[in-house]
Chain A
């Protein structure tokens, strides 16, 4: 008979189950990305996940620890990295990014649960710094119909605006890609919401990201605070700085980052207040980078910078039940 102390049974929701929930939530955007960008996207995803799994198992064997790939966390990291890369990223770079994400950003810090920064975003940031040209080459959303050549590259909507373009210019680029027929403002927003545009593999379809987010909320896998706080902050800040807040919310990786990156358990705060502040900071930094930074997009840095603040935000614990304020003058 088992003689453990109470409680004597436990919730069926295990770490592995939570990771599986994230994978299920990512499935629609993953499939849509493959549909949209064809073989380059498919290969990027396969290589990233495979490299993440292999480096996770390999590194742990090297340091004499039991491999933990069955907890699915390396699959999540590999998939998330692929989804925030342009579809045409050279495959060896993708693999390098995944290895960097797992080994440097996660295992060097002590493995699952001990890392400070979001591994997938570190992988992306590493690639952007190392290979700025390749990681800012954008593939037209032409599905499996086009050959793998440079001829199908285009600019992302945020790129166009960053370089001084207007919404009409964004509309024109959509028409050139064959995904829209009008440069009308609402038509542009609609295309952005559906997601048939150039961008990272998983970030384009707001509709499917929200669908995944809804699944995570319903299954109580994620908390609403950080993503909502991040999106609302970015919206208000964009508006306050004279940018189109609706466009800013729908274009770029804001929604993807808010739903899938700002909710990473390990690197986001534990407490309710901490999550709200985390989202606020990440949203604000995103917009500041978009407005004044050198990059058209700031979501990943917004989240990474707030990752660094997480240990401090974890000090914002709620007042315990029956809290009694210490008496003044007491030692």
Chain B
């Protein structure tokens, strides 16, 4: 099989060996969960339960505060009693309303009835996906039912399953493809049925070639008569970025300011596909997920499945043992795009793909001080979007927001490759995030000249 890829990108150390090849462990149900009311990209939710309510596992506890497509409900991940609804620190470092549920020792469930995706209508299927609380589990948390319902003028011709997992340290996607290949393929087939295409491709980096056999066997058994194949991709960061994945597999480029559907593509993470399959086959809403817990300060690196809302600090040492004296960074997500959190009282969310407990040696820097730019151009070669980070940074430092936008500020996917390679430790992507926000604020406050 020809190995495909995109231009640019970087090769950070993979550091996946600690968890590669281990069986995913399901941790014991915690005594208490902290479930953020808002776990999707879109309009805010409101709580549907009150303090004192008894909830069943899988019961909806929050849904859109106002009607609209960009909301996704949230479900209780354990059976128990709602103790509090109060702001807590979430994995994005912001305080947000969370429902704190204490287990009552029962396993009472409130799942939906199974639904056959291949005989129900598209509307029924999309409703099921929304009601199951499905969001993109790779990190962005975008509502799945919105992604699978493109407007009629955007015909889709391929669905791509994203199993690239280009973030260093993380192995949960690979483990999912090896242990649950049938659910991944089933989920992909369901998505293909919903968007009405016959071609599906599972893309994975060639350091995950171990998953190939399992996937191909599952494809043979679960293809529902559709054309599903596996495409190996070069192991290179950010191969799993939606745009890079699309370009590697289809050769097309998502137009600037556009979405994958503009080139007829829908992309879903393999973990999300597994959850989609479970929502139809078992009627199970998104109340648990697999993720990698690793890093040099984790004495028990492994892939685990835990209920949404499980608090990192409350996972017993017998299951996840952390050497707190050695942790210098606790990262929710991967080291390239994840969020460093201030403490370990943070709940697992629908988009938590991993937790990396980094030691000083792994962090590797003796100084965070920015040196002068020596104009080596490494950031330009690293950029997968063919931007010129150094030039954008100069424009932003000069306060030239529109100039920065002209040369591509808003096209930046914030993968962080430029900052990673910068020999002077200049915080390029960090400035671009701030710059984007400033630009949006500025544009929002100005009436359009020729609207």
| Interface, chain A (partner B; CB < 8 A) | 1-15, 17-18, 71, 73, 111-114, 223, 265-266, 270-271, 314, 317-324, 331
Hey, which chain A residues are within 8 Å of B391, CB to CB?
270, 314, 317
Given A18-B374, A113-B373, A324-B257; A7-B336 close (CB under 8 Å): yes
Q: Determine if B258 is an interface residue (Cβ-Cβ < 8 Å).
A: yes
Question: Do the beta carbons of B423 and A322 come within 8 Å of each other?
Answer: no
**Among B340, B407, B449, residue most surrounded by chain A Cβ atoms (within 10 Å):** B340
**Apart from the given pairs A14-B424, A323-B256, 16 other A-B contacts in the complex at a CB distance below 8 Å:** A1-B328, A1-B341, A4-B430, A11-B10, A13-B378, A15-B374, A18-B374, A113-B372, A265-B375, A270-B390, A314-B391, A320-B385, A321-B243, A321-B411, A322-B254, A322-B258
A309 to B439, alpha carbons, bound, how many Å? 31
A217 to B343, alpha carbons, bound, how many Å? 44
A16 to B350, alpha carbons, bound, how many Å? 42
B residues 348-402 in Cβ contact with A at 8 Å: 356, 358, 362-365, 368, 371-378, 380, 384-388, 390-391
Q: Which residue of A lies closest to B329 (CB)?
A: A2
A166 to B35, alpha carbons, bound, how many Å? 87
B residues 390-423 in Cβ contact with A at 8 Å: 390-391, 407-408, 411, 416-417, 419-423
Question: Do the beta carbons of B416 and A1 come within 8 Å of each other?
Answer: no
Given A15-B371, A113-B372; A270-B377 close (CB under 8 Å): yes
Question: Do the beta carbons of A1 and B375 come within 8 Å of each other?
Answer: no
Hey, which chain B residues are within 8 Å of A111, CB to CB?
372
B residues 67-98 in Cβ contact with A at 8 Å: 93
Q: Lowest 8 CB-CB distances: which A-B pairs, in order? A: A7-B416, A113-B372, A321-B385, A8-B335, A320-B408, A322-B256, A265-B376, A15-B423
A2 to B367, alpha carbons, bound, how many Å? 12
A317 to B377, alpha carbons, bound, how many Å? 12
Question: Do the beta carbons of B330 and A6 come within 8 Å of each other?
Answer: no
Given A13-B423, A320-B387, A322-B253; A8-B372 close (CB under 8 Å): no
Size range of the chain B interface in the assembly: 35 or more
Shortest CB-to-CB span from A122 to chain B, Å, is: 17
Shortest CB-to-CB span from B38 to chain A, Å, is: 21
Hey, which chain A residues are within 8 Å of B374, CB to CB?
15, 18, 73, 112-113, 265-266
Q: Which residue of B lies closest to A13 (CB)?
A: B423
Shortest CB-to-CB span from A24 to chain B, Å, is: 16
Of B243, B335, B376, B390, the contact of A7 (CB 8 Å cutoff): B335
Hey, which chain A residues are within 8 Å of B390, CB to CB?
270
Hey, which chain B residues are within 8 Å of A113, CB to CB?
372-375, 424
A15 to B424, alpha carbons, bound, how many Å? 6
Q: Determine if B342 is an interface residue (Cβ-Cβ < 8 Å).
A: yes
A154 to B310, alpha carbons, bound, how many Å? 82
Given A1-B327, A321-B385; A223-B377 close (CB under 8 Å): yes
Of B255, B329, B336, the contact of A1 (CB 8 Å cutoff): B329
Hey, which chain A residues are within 8 Å of B372, CB to CB?
111-114
Shortest CB-to-CB span from B173 to chain A, Å, is: 19
Question: Do the beta carbons of A320 and B327 come within 8 Å of each other?
Answer: no
Question: Do the beta carbons of B335 and A17 come within 8 Å of each other?
Answer: no
Q: Which residue of A lies closest to B11 (CB)?
A: A11
Given A114-B372, A265-B375, A317-B407; A7-B419 close (CB under 8 Å): yes
Hey, which chain A residues are within 8 Å of B433, CB to CB?
5
List 22 A-B pairs, Cβ < 8 Å.
A1-B343, A4-B340, A4-B430, A5-B339, A5-B430, A6-B416, A6-B429, A7-B417, A7-B420, A7-B429, A13-B421, A15-B376, A18-B423, A113-B373, A113-B424, A266-B375, A271-B377, A318-B388, A319-B386, A320-B386, A323-B256, A324-B257
Q: Determine if B425 is an interface residue (Cβ-Cβ < 8 Å).
A: yes
**Among B12, B371, B376, residue most surrounded by chain A Cβ atoms (within 10 Å):** B376
A113 to B93, alpha carbons, bound, how many Å? 35
A147 to B339, alpha carbons, bound, how many Å? 67
Hey, which chain A residues are within 8 Å of B375, CB to CB?
113, 265-266, 270
Hey, which chain A residues are within 8 Å of B446, CB to CB?
none
Hey, which chain A residues are within 8 Å of B356, CB to CB?
8
Shortest CB-to-CB span from B329 to chain A, Å, is: 5
Given A320-B387, A322-B243, A324-B255; A6-B336 close (CB under 8 Å): yes
Question: Do the beta carbons of A1 and B340 come within 8 Å of each other?
Answer: yes
Hey, which chain B residues are within 8 Å of A17, CB to CB?
423
Shortest CB-to-CB span from A256 to chain B, Å, is: 20
Hey, which chain A residues are within 8 Å of B422, CB to CB?
10-11
A266 to B424, alpha carbons, bound, how many Å? 13
Hey, which chain B residues are within 8 Å of A324, CB to CB?
255-258
Q: Determine if B337 is an interface residue (Cβ-Cβ < 8 Å).
A: yes
A182 to B94, alpha carbons, bound, how many Å? 80
A7 to B329, alpha carbons, bound, how many Å? 12
Given A9-B364, A321-B411; A2-B388 close (CB under 8 Å): no
Shortest CB-to-CB span from B82 to chain A, Å, is: 31
Shortest CB-to-CB span from A114 to chain B, Å, is: 7
Given A11-B423, A321-B386; A2-B416 close (CB under 8 Å): no
Question: Do the beta carbons of A8 and B376 come within 8 Å of each other?
Answer: no
A10 to B417, alpha carbons, bound, how many Å? 9
Q: Determine if B450 is an interface residue (Cβ-Cβ < 8 Å).
A: yes
Q: Which residue of A lies closest to B369 (CB)?
A: A66
Hey, which chain A residues are within 8 Å of B368, CB to CB?
4
Q: Determine if B331 is an interface residue (Cβ-Cβ < 8 Å).
A: yes
Hey, which chain A residues are within 8 Å of B425, CB to CB?
10, 14
Q: Which residue of A lies closest to B364 (CB)?
A: A9
Shortest CB-to-CB span from A7 to chain B, Å, is: 4
Hey, which chain B residues are within 8 Å of A13, CB to CB?
378, 421, 423
Question: Do the beta carbons of B423 and A8 come within 8 Å of each other?
Answer: no
